A = this chain, B = another copy of it.
Amino acid sequence: MDAATVDTPLYLQLAAHYRQAIASGVLAPGARMPSVRALMRTHRVSLSTALQACRSLEDEGLLEARPRSGYFVQAPRRAVLQPVQEPEPGATAASPDPAPYSGIHDRISDFVVKCERHPVVTNLALAFGSPECYPQEALKNAALRALRRRPEVLVSPVPPQGDPGFRAVLARRAMAAGMSPTPDEIVVTHGCTEALNLALRAVTQPGDTVAVESPTYFGLLQVIESLGLTALEIPTSPSRGMSVEALELAFATHLQIRAVVVVPNFQNPLGCVMPDEEKARLVALCDAAKVALIEDDIYGALSDDDLPLRTAKSWDRSGNVIHCGSLHKTLAPGMRIGWMLGGRWLARIRMLKHAQSRANDALAQLAIAEFMGSHAYDRHLVRLRRLLKAQRAATAEAIAAHFPAGTRLSMPSGGMMLWVEMPGGRSSGQVFDAALAEGIRVAPGLMFSNSGRFDHFLRISCGTPFNPNIEAAIRRLGQIVAAGG
């Protein structure tokens, strides 16, 4: 442990030691890491220190834990790919750029239409898992039971806000993320998209400004424009999420900001998680400024380490946070079920939901309540996290192998997306078109901002178990990028 200094905690010294061994090739990819007991003996450290060291290396992507077999060395993709860069200091310090909004709607519409019309062989643009990631049979059986037990729901009035039993299950599940809603505070919606629409309609008027992460999910930009609102993009760190400092500055300089929308856990497309202290600061800032904070937490349950991530809502004491969720990523992409905690806008949200689409029908809610109320849901989530972690790792490895030198990559600790920075001013629009012509679909970076700032990025999804087709598609994509798009 010669590389360590006396000020560094013991487990980090131990980790640094093995990091060097891996970098030098002493421990080759695929090799077994010494067992925890061996580490304790060899380095005279406690069980806790040995474990922390291994987990730290695992978090860096250098080691992989295999159940009952211990840790193994991963392929050294970090050696070729640098992490995605932080926003330029200037971008954070200066006033955020209120990029003119015109065009993004058309741009996204073009993308959606092209995607629908073009035959696709390998789809790397989906923001949800492939069918084999989800418990089809168990869901089917839950739906069959719900139908046999409660067929009257097909022909009976629909309860406002959604099925009470389903909302009770949601309320129980919300506790793991630090929230404690009553079922009555929950409104069931047609997916998180409808929840975001209702949240924005509840707290804004056409002409208002909404602060969003930059880059951000293009679907959100589309919602914002379709409601006659303007998006203000706040610099967002690939490691720490939306810059609270930049947001504070924006509040001071843009008086029309009526809402902030964030994805604090596994942000789309960056994959970053806001540290808890940042989430707390964000909640406090919005509360003090009387600007509604709308939280989209659809990826929060997909953390590699099985520990539930806290939501911004969990710090909310004044009802200023509207929390939105759905099962589209975690359980059933084919069932359009979302929900929201309306905070102090609950009554207005209920009424807007009534005016926009009435209450959701009950059958899907009953089926899901049946499944989510059981341990089968927890077991499914454990399996899904393992799958996604492996798929992300394999995809990252393929990108490292096939993309040109200078490519950079986000390294999320959960979720199903990678954010890839192409070298040398490539245009993601050109790469998208060239790839689509060969049946490969990716999400071009230019979709994730009203500015052109992210045009040299691609979002690559890892929702499908890695296979030779995906490998081939990524190889081809790397060639397209290398050729300049």
Contacts and interface: CB of A to CB of B under 8 A. Distances in A.
Nearest to A226: B355
Contacts of A112: 351, 354
Contacts of A386: none
Interface string A155-197: 1111010000000000000000000000000000111011001
A357 interface: yes
A153 B334 CA distance: 6
Nearest to A335: B361
Contacts of A143: 147, 154, 363
Contacts of A358: 190-191, 193, 336
A400 interface: no
B351 A334 contact: no
A406 interface: no
Interface stretch (A81-89, A134-142, A232-240, A413-421): A134-142
A226 B201 CA distance: 9
Copies per assembly: 2
Interface in A83-98: none
A223 B148 CA distance: 36
Contacts of A152: 131, 136, 334
A356 interface: yes
Nearest to A155: B134
A408 B136 CA distance: 57
Nearest to A134: B155
Nearest to A228: B206
A362 interface: yes
A116 interface: yes
Contact of A157 (B136, B190, B333, B354): B333
Interface string A99-110: 000000100010
Interface of A: 105, 109, 112, 116, 126, 128, 131, 133-137, 139-140, 143-144, 147-148, 151-158, 160, 189-191, 193-194, 197, 201, 205-206, 219, 222-223, 226, 228, 332-336, 351-352, 354-364
